[in-house]
A and B are shown apart, each in its own frame.
Chain A
Amino acid sequence: MTGYVVRRLFQMALALLGVSVIVFALIHLVPGDPVRIALGTRFDPDIYEALRARAGLDRPIVVQYFAWLGSAVTGDLGVSFRSGQPVAGLLLERLPATVTLAFSALFVALAVSIPLGIVSAVRSGSKLDYLSTATSQIAVSVPDFWAGIMYILLFSLVLSWLPPSGYVSFLESPVEWLRHLALPALTIGLISGSIIFRFVRSAVLEALNQDYTRTARAKGLSERQVIWRHVMPNAWIPIVTVVGLQLGFLLSGVIIVEVIFAWPGIGRLALLAVQDRDFTVLQGAVLLIAFMFLVINLLVDLLYGYLDPRVRYD
């Protein structure tokens, strides 16, 4: 087990290194000189050269990469070309908003998909099953940003129940925090939930058709016991896989939904950085999101061992 974790951590570091090369290479090919853009109309050749030297842009690209990587591992991701603030600070400032949104969306997704998926499978062919399967089929085809806009239209503009955008910290006002969180979390959570729903349903259906389930029924267990003691323990494994994959999708969704709801997270920061050609910020944001993604994948793999005693890590 320890050997496996060490090996996976090593692989993760390698993947992250690969991501860093790609991100660095990509962003240094960006057309347009960030220093020139940052200076704008106040252009002065002396200041320009000084700024370029300060950012290390006058050195060879390979040297720049290793310098950047060397500082990155110590948590120094450089300075924003636009605002002059440290990138790591900008990211840390926005991390809680993004993490809050991602986990709330996951909570919505699981709260909808797991109970509905189990009930739909147990009563497969029922009206409820038919209705939820059809709804999930439609929901998979809905772009998250459009769903967000439609929720704002309905819940903010027509019904005036919830604020259309913005963020309030939990410490400031828990009620307002929840009111602002509701629509973005629903936007991502319901689409993600409809995807997870179909997997829960098919995983439970498959476990219901196994011999051990028939045996459990034959020996006279109640339906409740059959489902919770025999069906679900076997259905969890494929479900965890999908939830793990969904977290990646969730992170993608968060980027766009943050823009729609003016949510002060990392996705919105990354997009603003694209517009401003503030590539140190973009580098940092992409690297951080890739890092979170890889950590999630590792955690999902480790969770298998806990859920399925047959999985051996060696």
Chain B
Amino acid sequence: MTPGIDQGVGDAGEPIAEHRSRARATVDTVLRNRLAVAGLIVLALLVLAAILGPTIAPYDINDINVADRLTGPSTAHWFGTDELGRDVFSRVLIGARVSLLVGFIAVGIALIVGVPIGLVSGFYGGAADSWLMRMMDILFALPAILLAIAILAVLGPGIVNAMIAIGIVYTPIFARITRGSVLTIKESVFVRAARSLGATDGRILRTHILPNVTAPITVQASLSLAFAILAEAALSFLGLGVQPPAPAWGRMLSEGRGFFEQAPWMAIFPGVAIVITVMAFNFVGDGLRDALDPQQRSVIESRGAE
């Protein structure tokens, strides 16, 4: 990152030319990372599958064909069929929708709630800071999946509630990361300069602080997507997420368990889909981290905080 002093001193906001060149440099660094590129390609394919799903899937996801039930992978059914004769490949393909949707919206919720908390906490300090951070610590004192389960016990199972639950679980991470970055940025020369020129708190937060804390937040967001997808799969697996007959990878896995001996493919393919998706997000997140913020905690450590 370029030294903060040449950014926005004249209160002209973010210098546009420089902003663009920095974004350019980030993109270049990410594109040089082969794993990150592989991750991006996989994600592009997944998004495509999620959007085009029904048009490219060979069968309808709820096409019941009892005569063909529990048949193994073949040219007609690449991933075999389930206990109702539904095509597993089509269901895995469409399942990408739920995973990506829940992942993006849950992380979106965590961002929208967590970042302002972190901004206020870090910028104003004092009582607001200690209250907000104590609240975040309490949420942190519960294992992620347990907190999500408890929230879903209250809200009831379902896809929207799963998004909310996962969003709440990941809020403290964003609040903490934002607060940490704000604490270092708010002492820099350009913030003091803006203040001495009479800029309001809101203006300082918006035009001077927020643009400078986006790097760690972006990195955390891309890594959190991986965990959000894992969490959604776990909740759906436990029957608390997406409800049947909509196909979700976690749910398909739990249904597959019942037909383990006759039809192992029912449990294998949805799991492979989860692993590939999560790995893609991790690769992209790691690539972004190397490009934007080499000091930040790695993917591994953030999972450790689950």
Contacts and interface: CB of A to CB of B under 8 A. Distances in A.
| Chains A and B are bound partners | yes
B141 A31 contact: no
A146 interface: yes
A140 B300 contact: yes
Interface string B37-61: 0000000000000000000000000
Interface residues of A, number: 53
B264 A153 contact: yes
A199 interface: yes
A274 B145 contact: no
Given A150-B271, A245-B304, A271-B149, A145 B237 contact: yes
Contacts of A289: 142-143, 146
A264 interface: no
Interface of A: 14-16, 18-19, 22-23, 26-27, 29-31, 137-138, 140-146, 149-150, 152-153, 157, 195, 198-199, 242, 245-246, 248-249, 251-252, 255-256, 259-260, 267, 270-271, 274-275, 277, 279, 282, 286, 289-290, 293-294
Nearest to B137: A15
B71 interface: no
13 contacts: A15-B134, A18-B134, A26-B154, A138-B275, A140-B299, A143-B274, A144-B234, A149-B253, A149-B256, A152-B260, A251-B146, A252-B144, A256-B145
Given A23-B150, A26-B151, A282-B153, A251 B143 contact: yes
Contacts of B305: 245, 248-249
B142 A290 contact: yes
Interface in B110-144: 134-135, 137-139, 141-144
The 3 closest A-B pairs by CB, nearest first: A18-B138, A146-B271, A245-B304
B282 A274 contact: no
Contacts of A275: 239
Given A15-B138, A252-B145, A256-B238, A145 B275 contact: no
B275 A274 contact: no
A271 B238 contact: yes
B185 interface: no
- Most chain B CB within a 10 A radius of its CB, from A14, A27, A286, A294: A286
A167 B262 CA distance: 25
